[in-house]
Amino acid sequence: YEIITLYSQYIPQISYASTAPELSDNTRYDFFSRVVPPDSYQAQAMLDIVTAMGWNYVSTLASEGNYGESGVEAFVQISREMGGVCIAQSLKIPREPRPGEFDKIIRRLLETPNARAIIMFANEDDIRRVLDAAKRSNQTGHFLWVGSDSWGSKISPVIQQERVAEGAITILPKRATVEAFDRYFRSRSLSNNRRNVWFAEFWEENFGCKLGMHGKRPGSLKKCTGLEKVGRDSSYEQEGKVQFVMDAVYAMAHALHRMHRDYCFGYPGLCPRMSNINGKELLGYIRGVNFNGSASTPVVFNQNGDAPGRYDIFQYQITNKSTAEYKVIGQWANKLHLNVDAMRWRTGNPTLPASVCSVPCQMGERKKIVKGVPCCWHCERCEGYHFQVSEFSCELCLYEQRPDRNRTGCIPIPIIKLEWHSAWAAVPMFVAVLGILATSFVVVTFVRYNDTPIVRASGREMSYVLLTGIFLCYAITFLMIATPCLAVCSFRRVFLGLGMCFSYAALLTKTNRIHRIFEQGKKSVAAPRFISPASQLVITFSLISVQLLGVFMWFAVDPPHTVVDYGEQRTSDPEKARGVLKCDISDLSLICSLGYSILLMVTCTVYAIKTRGVPETFNEAKPIGFTMYTTCIIWLAFIPIFFGTAQSAERMYIQTTTLTISLSLSASVSLGMLYMPKVYVIILHPEQNVPKRKRSFKAIVTAATMSGKLVQTGSDRPNGEVKTELCESMETNTSSTKTTYVSYSNHAI
* Ranges of the chain whose pLDDT falls below 70: 1-9, 213-221, 321, 347-349, 518-531, 611-621, 645-649, 692-749
Structural domain range at position 168: 37-174+308-342
Q: Does residue 482 sit within a domain?
A: yes
Task: Please give the Cα distance from 566 to 413 (Å, whole number).
Answer: 8
Q: Does residue 26 sit within a domain?
A: no
Q: Does residue 535 sit within a domain?
A: yes
Same domain, 549 and 626: yes
User: In 10 A of CB 402, how many CB atoms?
Assistant: 25
Same domain, 61 and 127: yes
Same domain, 259 and 317: no
Task: Please give the Cα distance from 324 to 158 (Å, whole number).
Answer: 10
pLDDT of residue 732: 35
Q: Is 471 helix (H, G, I), strand (E, B) or coil?
A: helix
142, 133 Cβ separation under 8 angstroms: no
How far out from the chain centre does Cα 562 lie?
32
Q: Does residue 742 sit within a domain?
A: no
The one-character DSSP state at 333 is: S
Continuous H helices in 221-268:
242-263
Q: Summarize pLDDT for 97-141 with one digit per residue, the tens.
A: 999 999 999 999 999 999 999 999 999 999 999 999 999 999 988
Burial class (CB in 10 A: 0-12, 13-18, 19+), 688: exposed
Same domain, 448 and 376: no
Q: Summarize pLDDT for 329-347 with one digit per residue, the tens.
A: 999 988 999 998 888 887 5
pLDDT of residue 76: 93
Task: Please give the Cα distance from 316 to 158 (Å, whole number).
Answer: 9
Instruction: Output b/e per residue, 418-429; b: 16+ Cβ within 10 A.
Output: beeeeebbeebb
Q: Does residue 68 sit within a domain?
A: yes
Domain count, the chain: 4
The one-character DSSP state at 35 is: S
Task: Please give the Cα distance from 440 to 28 (Å, whole number).
Answer: 112
Residue 533: name the closest of 462, 604, 456, 446 by CA: 462
The one-character DSSP state at 219 is: T
172, 314 Cβ separation under 8 angstroms: yes
Last residue of a domain, one of 282, 300, 318: 300
299, 311 Cβ separation under 8 angstroms: no
Same domain, 379 and 263: no
Residue 369: name the closest of 393, 347, 341 by CA: 393
> CATH number for the domain including 396?
2.10.50.30
Which uninterrupted H or E stretch holds 172?
Answer: strand 169-173
Last residue of a domain, one of 664, 690, 716: 690
Question: What is the reported pTM?
Answer: 0.60
Q: Does residue 204 sit within a domain?
A: yes
pLDDT of residue 232: 87
Q: Does residue 435 sit within a domain?
A: yes
Strand ranges across the sheet with 578-583: 415-416, 578-583, 562-569
Task: Please give the Cα distance from 541 to 714 (Å, whole number).
Answer: 40
> CATH number for the domain including 518?
1.20.1070.10
Same domain, 246 and 143: no
99, 119 Cβ separation under 8 angstroms: no
Same domain, 494 and 599: yes
Q: Enumerate the β-bridge partners of residue 118.
A: 59, 145
> CATH number for the domain including 122?
3.40.50.2300
Same domain, 522 and 378: no
Angle at alpha carbon of residue 291, lines to 287 and 292, rounded to 5°: 135
Same domain, 330 and 436: no
Write the CB contacts of 557 (distance below 8 Å, at least 6 apart in sequence).
none
Q: Does residue 385 sit within a domain?
A: yes
pLDDT of residue 401: 92
Same domain, 391 and 428: no
Same domain, 96 and 151: yes
Same domain, 316 and 167: yes
Write the CB contacts of 523 (distance below 8 Å, at least 6 apart in sequence).
none
What is Dmax (Cα atoms) for the chain? 177
The one-character DSSP state at 296 is: S
Write the CB contacts of 744 (distance below 8 Å, at least 6 apart in sequence).
694, 695, 697, 700
Task: Please give the Cα distance from 583 to 78 (Å, whole number).
Answer: 66
User: In 10 A of CB 409, how many CB atoms?
Assistant: 14
Q: Summarize pLDDT for 265-320 with one digit per residue, the tens.
A: 888 888 888 888 888 889 999 999 999 988 788 899 999 999 998 899 999 998 77
